[in-house]
Amino acid sequence: AKVAGKNCYRFYSRAMDQAVERRVHLEHELRGAWERGELSLVYQPVFCLVDDAMIGAEALLRWQHPERGLVAPSVFIDVAEQSGLIETLGPQVLHAACEDAVRWQQLRPQGEPLFVAVNVSPRQLRSGDLPQVVAASLRETGLSADLLHLELTETAVIGDEAQASNLLTRLRGMGVKVWLDDFGTGFSGLSHLRRVPVDGVKIDRSFIADVLRDPDDLALTTAIIAMAHSLGITVVAEGVEREGQYAILRERGCDLAQGYWLGHPLPAAEFLALLR
Ligand code: C2E
Ligand code: CA
Ligand code: CA
Ligand code: CA
């Protein structure tokens, strides 16, 4: 028994070591990945449900690892967040997205301007210099502030609500739009919206996934739309994969939508080609 116990201990400790080791490896390899050209942005179009027009796109980060292949953002964003790497990576992403968005407008001088939505992690939000970082990107690229949307997760603004709302007010004062991402998953409830000043909410795709089958999910989605509209807030649905979902969201008065049925995320060059 003693031996087995010992082996057991060894087994667990080795498994743990491996998990830690993998993280340390990933962190090490992520350092400088942007400079080596392994990281890039893809853009997923966002559509207006009133007239079916494309009105903007969300920037999503991709890591093409030289040996591991494509690493999921759900894995490496977390590593970047935990290690603090996000504080250098975040501003690089923001700058690149603004730069790309300026090109989009140049391609369609007569068309409606297209916004770019950029994900901002909780750590970037807490870092304190987000307004300066945003201002620098806008200044250096010349993107009009109202064409930049920042997506913050609901959980990032929970906690110190006063401080968060202060920061969001500053950002919105600069003219950028602030959206709450993954809305409905953070248990903060709709009352949260009264205290945190945002321009829009993105209903989490876990609600959209079952909106045709699960009456509860439809009721929740409808309630979010009604509540948001009563506060003057725009509603975006993400993860629209079928025409039926699109139809019911439009019927319920949802403003904007994105998802595989409408358009997959595209590499920057392909997204540009789509605009031509
Ligand atoms: P998110 O912000 O909720 O992004 C939406 C995710 O849903 C993306 O996954 C997108 O590819 C995926 N998606 C879009 N349409 C559909 C659909 O119809 N069905 C399904 N099942 N999925 C759809 P992705 O690109 O793997 O990103 C995962 C998460 O990683 C993002 O979730 C975001 O939280 C984070 N992330 C990605 N890029 C960045 C970034 O530049 N900065 C930060 N801080 N986080 C990022
Ligand atoms: Ca997002
Ligand atoms: Ca989301
Ligand atoms: Ca459900």
Closest atom of ligand 1 relative to the 81 alpha carbon = 44
pLDDT in tens, 198-212: 999 999 999 999 999
* pLDDT value for 189: 65
Q: Is the pLDDT of residue 27 over 50?
A: yes
Q: Is the pLDDT of residue 128 over 90?
A: no
Count CB neighbours of 67 within 10 A: 5
* Lowest-confidence region among 51-60, 88-97, 109-118, 235-244: 109-118
Mean pLDDT of the chain: 91
* pLDDT value for 4: 54
Task: Give distance in angstroms: CA of 53 to centre of ligand 4.
Answer: 29
Q: Is the pLDDT of residue 57 over 90?
A: yes
* pLDDT value for 7: 57
Report the 3 state secondary structure along 157-203.
HCCCHHHHHHHHHHHHHCCCEEEEEEECCCCCCCCHHHHCCCCEEEE
Q: Which amino acid residue places its CA nearest to atom 12 of ligand 1?
A: 239
| pLDDT confidence tier of residue 9, bands split at 50, 70 and 90 | low
Closest atom of ligand 1 relative to the 86 alpha carbon = 44
Task: Give distance in angstroms: CA of 60 to centre of ligand 1.
Answer: 6
Task: Give distance in angstroms: CA of 31 to centre of ligand 3.
Answer: 25
Q: Does residue 154 line the site of ligand 1, with CB under 6 A?
A: no
Q: Does residue 56 line the site of ligand 1, with CB under 6 A?
A: no
Task: Give distance in angstroms: CA of 126 to centre of ligand 2.
Answer: 18
- The mean pLDDT value for 236-261 works out to 98
- Which of 80-84, 97-101, 153-157 tops mean pLDDT? 97-101
* Lowest-confidence region among 37-41, 60-64, 195-199: 195-199
Q: Does residue 44 line the site of ligand 1, with CB under 6 A?
A: yes
Q: Does residue 181 line the site of ligand 1, with CB under 6 A?
A: yes
Q: Which residues surround ligand 3, an ion (CB under 5 A)?
A: 181-182
Q: Does residue 91 line the site of ligand 1, with CB under 6 A?
A: no
Q: What single letter denotes the amino acid at residue 22?
A: R
Between 72 and 14, name the one with better pLDDT: 72
pLDDT in tens, 143-170: 999 999 999 987 777 777 888 889 999 9
* Lowest-confidence region among 19-33, 70-84, 97-111, 188-202: 188-202
Q: Which amino acid residue places its CA nearest to atom 25 of ligand 1?
A: 60
3-state secondary structure of 93: helix
* pLDDT value for 61: 97
Determine which helix (DSSP H) or strand (DSSP E) holds 118, and give its type and residue range. strand 115-120
Quote the ipTM score: 0.97
Task: Give distance in angstroms: CA of 19 to centre of ligand 3.
Answer: 26
| pLDDT confidence tier of residue 1, bands split at 50, 70 and 90 | very low
Beta strand 115-120 with 177-183 is unpaired
Task: Give distance in angstroms: CA of 15 to centre of ligand 3.
Answer: 31
Q: Which amino acid residue places its CA nearest to atom 37 of ligand 1?
A: 60
Count CB neighbours of 276 within 10 A: 6
Between 24 and 140, name the one with better pLDDT: 140
Q: Does residue 60 line the site of ligand 1, with CB under 6 A?
A: yes
Q: Is the pLDDT of residue 187 over 70?
A: no
